[in-house]
Amino acid sequence: MRQPVLAGNWKMHKTVAEAVGLVGELRASLDATPVSREVIVAPPFTTLAAVAQALRGSGIQVAGQTMHFEKEGAFTGEISPAILKDAGASHVILGHSERRQLFGETDDGVGKKARAAFDHGLTPIVCIGETLAEREAGRMFEVIERQLERGLRALTPDEAAVAIVAYEPVWAIGTGKTATPAQAQEVHAFVRKRVSASHGEPVAAALRILYGGSVKPDNIDGLMAESDIDGALVGGACLKSESFLRIVRFN
């Protein structure tokens, strides 16, 4: 059985005080009533160390929202995997659709970052997903296969089995639109089939594939009922403890 993963991507929200307050609420609830699920929060860089400190000893893990692939260097404004690890991160989100669309990240760049993440002891959460235009043009699987292949090709089978893939259709990010459970399941099953071909069936069986795209308390149960959906990468609904905890405690 694949352990479900519920990850909250805070994006550009929360001061240090607000961040520590939010994870304090999450920790208190999950310490009181634990769940057999992997829970991850991805705060902004400026709050990451304080969040990691507040969560030390808890079951909640911390992720960076992106990173550079180099260990260090003259890259103004960037954060390296070594710095993320030092700040307390165990995971890092790579290739989020907002990073691809707004900041020019490429498939090959995401692959280099995934390799660097493992080299520095971080687990990558590799994001893939098509735009509405690509879906309507019938190019959905072509786009997803390309992003997946380039994102994972530098990883060994053992590493690919530990990595996390997040399918987030671009047309559902922050729009209020959500893929139906059947639409999401179709893509997740395709991803597992492609990973089986590239890295082997045991890797595909172990790989956790998350759905991301306007995940909310009122749609998480239906999504998680699908056989190939192993969790969620949550946006806006993770910014309040009540809604994120309901997602973490899906039925």
User: Which amino acids are annotated catalytic?
Assistant: 96, 168
Q: What tokens were used for 38? A: 């992997």
Q: How far, in whole angstroms, is CA 109 from its chain's centroid?
A: 17
Backbone angles phi and psi of 13, in degrees to 5 = -140, 150
Phi-psi map region of 14: left, alpha, beta (phi>0 left; psi -120 to 50 alpha): left
Count the Cβ atoms, other than its own, within 10 Å of residue 189: 15
172/26 Cα distance (integer angstroms): 26
